[in-house]
Amino acid sequence: MSKKAVSLKQVTFKYKNSTKFAITNVSLEINADDFLLLVGYSGSGKSTLLKTINGLIPNFYAGTFGGSIKINGEDIIDKNPAQLAKQVGFVFQNPENQISNLTVEKEIAFPLENFGVPRNEIITRIDELVELLGIERIRYKSPFSISGGEQQLTAIAAALALDPPMLILDEVTAHLSPNSANDLLKILFKLNQEHDKTIILSEHRLDRCLNYVNKIAYIEQGKLKISGSLKEVLSSKEYPENLLPKVPRLFYELARKSNDFNNFSSKFRKSFNVENLPITISDFKKLMQIEGEYHD
Amino acid sequence: MSSKILEYFDYESDKSILHQVDPRGKALFVVVITCITILFRELVPLLLILGAIIPLTFLAHFFKKWMRTILILLPLILLIIIINALLLKVEYPTTIGIIMALRLIILTAVYGLFFQTVSPDDISQMLIKFRLPFTFAWAISTAYRFIPTLANETNIIMAAQKSRGLQIDRGNIFKRARNMVPLLIPIFASAMRRSWQLAEAIESRGWNATKNRTYLYSLKMKWWDYLVILVCLAIFGLFLFLVITQVDLPIWMQLYIPSKYELKELFKAAWDWIKGLFTK
Ligand SMILES: Nc1ncnc2c1ncn2[C@@H]1O[C@H](COP(=O)(O)OP(=O)(O)O)[C@@H](O)[C@H]1O
Ligand SMILES: [Mg+2]
């Protein structure tokens, strides 16, 4: 059994100036080797949930908080984000508003400076990180003269500077082109596979993430509806059709056109197997031929 | 217009000779020149200061930008000269007007040179060397670094509101002031959102985690920096000497515009000439 990295129990939070709870009774366990994808519509509470894991909630945002959060078995409720920075790296959605230094290198150095790391060690760490993330080229550049993808890589490098075992990323691909979003996901996959980082990623478009993640959690109006392996979640009734990845969704649309909607839907859900998920169009055609009865 | 003025404060990250000078030396230079410029009441010394600063603007690759700023300020400069020349009750009002304008021109050059060649990081490092708390130094450099972002955003919001039919530059001054409200609210809201997100981010990067913060780069004086400081102090010493001993400046330094070329006289002559055209 793999090690527990995060354990949330009955976590509830209401922002001070808000009337309804942003998240209610969320319980979730995340293993140290997980690459978890948090899915949910806009406003469903993804950011709020993620912020409870690095102490921004309830230590930075005022509000009503309930429940317990453990990181590596340790209760973190009274630890502020700065104290947790060595355990959790956090990357935010908007690259521009999370970078406060004038060069990429200085941005990566910032957390290390905060912790009083000696200068020569800071330089060694920057060397390692720019190589790991493939951003040697922009090391001395201004974060405002580089692309959005490069800005997010800079933010990831800064979040990794203190070598936390866990990285949380809140809709980091939202401002990126499809290509740089893909590159970024590949790097996260590498961090997860080769550098043993726990990765928690929130997204509201999940297609491109499916190749890399091993778990999905679905949140709706502040409640965690379901979490587990891809297969468990995507074939569950709790999971909305609209958020299915494109190819299964195509099946779903076809089924709706056919008369036998209910029958198809349940059949599809039962037979749906993520391991055989068609990624390319030719995969899809192959699958269509097997499922001959829906040929037209 | 508003954003063009802000451009003047932009740091240019090129590598001119003046970029290599320690910001503390440059800050001293700014202080000394400001004192001298404000306290000298004669035309020739100010022209000499201006003459000394122009080569520096070339060295810093600042000359073109400075000229652009002067061009924007030209109406103000002319106004200063004309108002002083016409309204001051002294012997040589036009000379005073020109002196006032010269002060403005020199100070735009000096402060421009400083902001052009000192990066926000250098400013915060300088404040830290002056033993101000890091939090304060960080706030200053961050505010400074967000100027271009906010200026850019202001332009976007202005364009957006204009495209929705807001007439920003119509009507009298009160009407215009009221027209600014639909601009200020989104600008303010967005600045608040930005600073909140920034606070979250630095908090998550271990802000204030320890008392003894280290720095990747910190300022180190080189030999030429001591030279710069020495020269600034020498200039300041000379200036103090002149002020304290009250020695008269040499005659050639006390030059002023002769009374027959006073702006008032020139205007009167022009007026008479125009009147002459009509009475003919
Ligand atoms: N700072 C805040 N103050 C008050 N309410 C907030 C704040 N941030 C988010 N909310 C509310 O909490 C709910 C969840 O928001 P959020 O966690 O940002 O969702 P998501 O990240 O999934 O879009 C929303 O209803 C939102 O309006
Ligand atoms: Mg969000």
**pLDDT tens for each residue of B115-167:** 888 888 888 899 999 999 998 999 888 887 777 778 888 888 888 888 888 77
Closest residue to B214, CB basis, from A89, A92, A118: A118
Q: What is the ipTM of this complex?
A: 0.83
Closest residue to A117, CB basis, from B120, B142, B214: B214
Q: Is the pLDDT of residue A293 over 50?
A: no
- Amino acid identity at A21: F
Q: Is the CB of residue B255 less than 8 Å away from at least one CB of chain A?
A: no
Q: Which of A13, A14, A16, A18 to mutate to test the pocket of ligand 1 (most atoms within 8 A of CB)?
A: A18
- C-alpha closest to that of B69 among B1, B144, B155: B1
Say which DSSP state A13 is in: E
Q: Which atom of ligand 1 is nearest to the CA of A219?
A: 22
Cα B42 to Cα B22: distance, rounded to the nearest angstrom: 31
Residue A256 or B74, more confident = B74
Q: Please tell me the number of the ligand nearest to residue A92's CA.
A: 2
Reported as a single tens digit per residue, the pLDDT across B244-260 is: 888 777 888 778 888 88
| Pairs across A and B, CB distance < 8 A | 100
Q: Are residues B78 and B157 in the same domain?
A: no
A42 lines ligand 1 (CB under 6 A): yes
Reported as a single tens digit per residue, the pLDDT across A109-123 is: 999 999 999 999 999
The answer to whether position B157 is within a domain reads yes
The answer to whether position B274 is within a domain reads no
Q: How many domains is chain B built from?
A: 2
The answer to whether position B103 is within a domain reads yes
Domain hosting residue B241, numbered range: 1-118+221-264
- C-alpha closest to that of A222 among A84, A63, A43: A43
Q: Is the CB of residue B213 less than 8 Å away from at least one CB of chain A?
A: yes
The answer regarding whether domain A1-87+203-240 maps to CATH 3.40.50.300 reads yes
Q: Are residues B239 and B204 in the same domain?
A: no
Cα angle B11, B130, B32 (rounded to 5 degrees) comes to: 65
Half-sphere exposure of B261 (CA within 13 A, CB side): 5
Q: Are residues B11 and B82 in the same domain?
A: yes
Residues of B in contact with A161 (CB under 8 A): 205
Under the banding of pLDDT at 50, 70 and 90, the label for residue A137 is: very high
Cα B142 to Cα A273: distance, rounded to the nearest angstrom: 51
The answer to whether position B253 is within a domain reads yes
Residues 6 or more apart whose Cβ sits within 8 Å of residue B280: none
Cα A120 to Cα B169: distance, rounded to the nearest angstrom: 55
Mean pLDDT of A163-192: 93
How far does the CA of residue A39 sit from the closest CA of chain B (Å)?
22
Residues of A in contact with B205 (CB under 8 A): 85, 110-111, 114, 158-159, 161
Q: Is the pLDDT of residue B15 over 50?
A: yes
Sign (positive or negative) of CA dihedral A6, A12, A18, A20: positive
Sign (positive or negative) of CA dihedral A203, A205, A209, A214: positive
Q: Are residues B113 and B6 in the same domain?
A: yes
- Judged by DSSP in three states, A31 sits in strand
Q: Is the CB of residue B14 less than 8 Å away from at least one CB of chain A?
A: no
Q: Are residues B38 and B102 in the same domain?
A: yes
How far does the CA of residue B147 sit from the closest CA of chain A (Å)?
13
Q: Are residues B114 and B232 in the same domain?
A: yes
Alpha-helical runs (H) found in chain B: 2-7, 23-39, 43-59, 63-87, 93-117, 120-129, 134-163, 173-179, 181-204, 223-245, 263-279
Q: C-alpha dihedral over B138, B140, B145, B149, to 10 degrees?
A: 120
Ordered by start, the domain boundaries in chain A are 1-87+203-240, 245-295
Q: Are residues B237 and B140 in the same domain?
A: no
Q: Is the CB of residue A124 less than 8 Å away from at least one CB of chain B?
A: no
How far does the CA of residue A60 sit from the closest CA of chain B (Å)?
8
Q: Is the pLDDT of residue A87 over 90?
A: yes
Q: Are residues B128 and B244 in the same domain?
A: no
Q: Is the CB of residue A22 less than 8 Å away from at least one CB of chain B?
A: no
The answer to whether position B35 is within a domain reads yes
Please state whether the peptide bond connecting residue A58 to the residue before it is cis, i.e. omega within 30 degrees of 0: yes
Q: Are residues B143 and B41 in the same domain?
A: no
Cα A25 to Cα A21: distance, rounded to the nearest angstrom: 10
How far does the CA of residue B141 sit from the closest CA of chain A (Å)?
9
A15 lines ligand 1 (CB under 6 A): yes
The answer to whether position B279 is within a domain reads no
Q: Are residues B61 and B79 in the same domain?
A: yes
Whether residues A92 and B209 touch (CB distance < 8 A) is answered with no
Could you tell me the distance, in angstroms and rounded to a whole number, from the CA of residue B178 to the centre of ligand 1? Answer: 33
A134 lines ligand 1 (CB under 6 A): no
Q: Which of A17, A38, A48, A57 to mutate to test the pocket of ligand 1 (most atoms within 8 A of CB)?
A: A48
Predicted TM-score of the model (pTM):
0.81
Q: Which atom of ligand 1 is nearest to the CA of A44?
A: 22
Reported as a single tens digit per residue, the pLDDT across A194-239 is: 999 999 999 877 878 888 899 999 999 999 999 998 878 887 888 8
In angstroms, the first-to-last Cα distance of chain B is 46
- Amino acid identity at B249: L
The answer to whether position B280 is within a domain reads no
Reported as a single tens digit per residue, the pLDDT across A18-63 is: 999 999 999 999 999 999 999 999 999 999 999 999 999 888 899 9
Cα B192 to Cα B92: distance, rounded to the nearest angstrom: 51
Q: Are residues B29 and B97 in the same domain?
A: yes
Mean pLDDT of B229-253: 87
The answer to whether position B277 is within a domain reads no
Q: Are residues B207 and B248 in the same domain?
A: no
Whether residues A111 and B205 touch (CB distance < 8 A) is answered with yes
Report the pLDDT value the prediction gives residue A290, as an integer from 0 to 100. Answer: 54
Q: Is the CB of residue A82 less than 8 Å away from at least one CB of chain B?
A: yes
